[in-house]
Amino acid sequence: MTNSYTTSKTFDGNNEDVRAALRYAIRRIASINVIWGDRTVTFNLAPSFLLSWGEKVQIQIDSDTTVEISSKCSAFFQLHDGGKNESNIVTILEWMDEYYELWKNRN
């Protein structure tokens, strides 16, 4: 049984703004093995506690400003994720929002 979490969100601006906010968030979350594609970003998160295998995060840019983010255990099975997958995604989206707030207040 694999624990995972997926959600999506639409942001203001354009594709470049979304990608800049993603770069900001990904740098902050201490990700490893970041792979940037035209419409996808994938990376791994190191285990956060002893019984974890870490998480694989995939971000799909569905339109110029809508992202779909999923997080699942890096191992082929996991009994319980302790809410870590959802927490990772919420954190990424909060940091993307923070980037937008900083960007808006700068102009």
CATH classification at residue 92: 3.30.310.80
Residue 41 β-bridge partners: 36, 59
pLDDT, averaged across the chain: 82
Q: Is this structure's pTM higher than 0.85? A: no
- In the chain, how many domains are there? 1
16: domain range?
Answer: 4-106
Distance CA 51, CA 16 (A): 38
Q: In what order do the strands lie in the sheet with 66-73?
A: 4-10, 66-73, 55-61, 40-45, 31-36
The pLDDT of 27-35, averaged and rounded, is: 81
3-class DSSP assignment, residue 39 = coil
What pLDDT digit, counting tens, does each position of 46-70 carry?
665 555 567 889 999 988 899 999 9
